[in-house]
Amino acid sequence: MLLDGRVVIVAGVGPGLGRSVAVRAAEQGASVVLAARTESVVKDLAAMIGDRALAAPTDLTDDVAVRRLADRALAEFGRVDVLVHNAFAMPPMQSLGKVDLADVGTSFEVNVLAALRTIRHLTPALIASRGAIVVVNSAVLRHSRRPFGPYRLTKAALLAATQNLASELGPKGVRVNSVAPGWIWADQLRGWFEFQAAQRGVPARQIYDEVAATTDLRRLPEPDEVADAVLFLASDLARGVTGACLDVNCGEFHH
């Protein structure tokens, strides 16, 4: 198994990708620490995974809370081998010329500073285990479509941070990589496509097919497919990889 005996913290557990990462990591032999702001989400998922899961409700924008997360993980399992940072906040879908900068700041706090905060508090444990960090970024890095400008701004900063951290932590034995998913075919996207279909008076499948037609594989990646890319980068299969950003978008963009 890819992560047998490892301890993986998943920061930003939700109903989609974060959940898939946690479940797949457990299936690959890891003990998992589940961190998210909503207590019921992490407790329900921990109950489903079983004894090797720790529910750790955490506000990742709160320095004290993140320090407590690190302490709880070490107290429970004695080590941390992998941090997967999946938390994000979407700013308004507006042009950079019109968006409220306070809203961009709120998104930046979650998308960039929360990641940096979490990594900082877990760095000593990851150095001790010669571990790995995988940060979930976005395919928004690969295009400049106008409504996505504020989101791209935060994700570009996140990529810069992870690349610098790879250089800073590499000599200490810690690898730092990113995954950049495109569309992820899960409940949230289904709901959005259904809304678009209702607005246009067409079947939801037509919306899916139109979007999928922009990818080489003519389909959209599912959460488990993105999660598997995360686990690859977290595992020893990627022991020679750091500072990389792996696109998982079924060929929508080439980079």
Residue positions annotated with a catalytic role: 151
3-state SS assignment for residue 116: helix
Q: d(Cα 111, Cα 153) in Å, to the nearest integer?
A: 10
Q: d(Cα 236, Cα 125) in Å, to the nearest integer?
A: 18
For 211, the token pair is: 């979007």
Q: d(Cα 38, Cα 30) in Å, to the nearest integer?
A: 23
Question: In which residue are the tokens 């890319």 written?
Answer: 229
For 166, the token pair is: 């790879």
Q: d(Cα 59, Cα 110) in Å, to the nearest integer?
A: 10
Q: Among the residues of the chain, which ranges form H helices?
A: 17-27, 39-49, 63-77, 101-108, 114-129, 149-169, 187-200, 204-212, 223-234
